[in-house]
Amino acid sequence: MDAEDQHAFFHGLDRKAEKVNKKLAGLHEWIHSKIENLDYGTYDIGLDDPLEKVIPRWKRSTY
């Protein structure tokens, strides 16, 4: 593969990656809209706590 072919290949690969990134940007924004900001320290939740202790706000029972 000579330098010109290599340049054309990587240029095409970059364009394809940009197209895929544009498609995934919507999914990325949707995921972020569904995940609320985590307030670490609230309810004594830490990064080292087991998953059972971290309960999403929508699953919490209202007291």
Distance of alpha carbon 8 from alpha carbon 53, whole angstroms: 52
pTM across the whole model: 0.44
pLDDT-derived band at 10 (thresholds 50, 70, 90) equals very high
- Provide the pLDDT for residue 57: 63
pLDDT tens digits, one per residue of 25-56: 998 888 777 766 555 555 666 667 776 666 66
Distance of alpha carbon 52 from alpha carbon 54, whole angstroms: 6
- Provide the pLDDT for residue 12: 93
